[in-house]
Amino acid sequence: MRNTFINTLCDLAAEHDNLFLLCGDLGYSVLEPFADRFPDRFINAGIAEQNMTLVATGLAREGYNVFTYSIGNFPTLRCMEQIRYDICYHKANVKVVAVGAGYAYGPQGVSHHTTEDLAMMRALPGMSVCAPADPQEARAAAFFMASHNGPGYIRLNKSGEPPVHDQGKVLDFKPGKFIPVRDGTHTLVLATGAMVQPMLVELGATHHGWALWSAPFVGAYDRNSMIEMGQRFQRIVTVEEHQLNGGFGSSVVEALSDLYADGELAEMPRVRRIAVPNIFIGTSGTQEYLRKAAGLTLEHLDWRDAG
């Protein structure tokens, strides 16, 4: 996923001479193509992510569309003050790219576990939050962010993600929109980011009648799309590789509750949130191992009567 995103960004930089990339002393074997092709638009800012964010804001004020790139927590949690005051408050054209979503860097421990970023980023005014599910969505995210004017956040898994969508499928990749992955009735699994593919595998083996949609953008949902979803499905399961508090599932519940309160929905769907428990899982292990430890599975849901 990350390779597809960076390679697409390279192609876009050839067309848009305002694209600029900064990294926090990482990305080796990934960022070299961009650095080699556009050395005057690439800076390795070193292990100084807060300073990298300030430099990005300054470049954006000079007319560049700037992408910062680092591992999960480092361009986000470490830089929240700079992101809030310098990027978002000034509506700067800076895109924060966090590679290693959730437990992608699982063996490095809690310092590298990225499990609070969606809650933090979606709370910031003006921030467009994007979590692609597969290489095809990552490519679409690069195109979107290259043309989007304003703050953006891209949450990428580390590498090697299998495709979720048919290669020939044209994605309706827009903020607030969902992308159907498989059809179903009564119950919808709504997943974001790299959790879409595991859900596709699990649904194929067990819950055959359930639908699966990908949510590549978190928050600011299209009102009509939410109304259609709330009217069509009696049960909705949200899945994310993120803390339960304040994340993707919370954003969906908030949006549906607002529609119900406004009278746009006659009934409130039953929503179950599958996410990381609100605890630190201080174990080091592979992403798959930590997902199991966090309970990121449909296995324990009691809605099997839905099909």
**Strand locations in the chain (E):** 19-23, 42-44, 65-71, 94-99, 128-130, 152-156, 179-182, 187-191, 211-214, 235-243, 270-276
Residues 83 and 35: beta-carbon distance below 8 Å: no
Integer Cα distance of 91 and 87 in angstroms: 6
Per-residue model confidence (pLDDT) at position 307: 45
Integer Cα distance of 186 and 159 in angstroms: 33
Q: Read off the pLDDT of residues 276-286 as tens digits, 9 standing for 90 and up.
A: 999 999 989 99
Tell me the whole-structure pTM to 2 decimals.
0.94
Residue 86's Cβ-count burial label (10 Å; 0-12, 13-18, 19+) is: buried
Residues 22 and 52: beta-carbon distance below 8 Å: yes
**Boundaries of CATH 3.40.50.920 in the chain?**
179-306
Paired sense of beta strands 152-156 and 179-182, if any: unpaired
Per-residue model confidence (pLDDT) at position 306: 44
With tokens 């709370």, the residue in question is 123
**Boundaries of CATH 3.40.50.970 in the chain?**
2-156
HSE-CB of 259 using CA atoms within 13 angstroms:
23
DSSP H/E element including 52: helix 49-61
SS3 288: helix
Tens-binned pLDDT, residue by residue, of the chain (307 aa) = 889 999 999 999 999 999 999 999 887 888 999 999 999 999 999 999 999 999 999 999 999 999 999 998 999 999 999 999 999 999 999 999 999 999 999 999 999 999 999 999 999 999 999 999 999 999 999 999 999 999 999 999 987 889 999 887 888 899 999 999 999 988 999 999 999 999 999 998 887 789 999 999 999 999 999 999 999 999 999 999 999 999 999 999 999 999 999 999 999 999 999 999 999 999 899 999 999 999 999 988 865 544 4
Q: Say which CATH topology domain 2-156 has.
A: Rossmann fold (3.40.50)
DSSP 92-154: --EEEEEES-BTTTGGG-GGG-B-SHHHHHHTSTT-EEE--SSHHHHHHHHHHHHH--S-EEE
Residues 161 and 131: beta-carbon distance below 8 Å: no
Q: Say which CATH topology domain 179-306 has.
A: Rossmann fold (3.40.50)
Q: Read off the pLDDT of residues 131-190 as tens digits, 9 standing for 90 and up.
A: 999 999 999 999 999 999 999 999 999 878 899 998 878 888 999 999 999 999 889 999
Per-residue model confidence (pLDDT) at position 241: 97
Paired sense of beta strands 179-182 and 211-214, if any: antiparallel
Who's near 273: CB < 8 A, 6+ residues apart?
237, 238, 240, 244, 249, 250, 253
Residues 161 and 137: beta-carbon distance below 8 Å: no
Per-residue model confidence (pLDDT) at position 303: 56
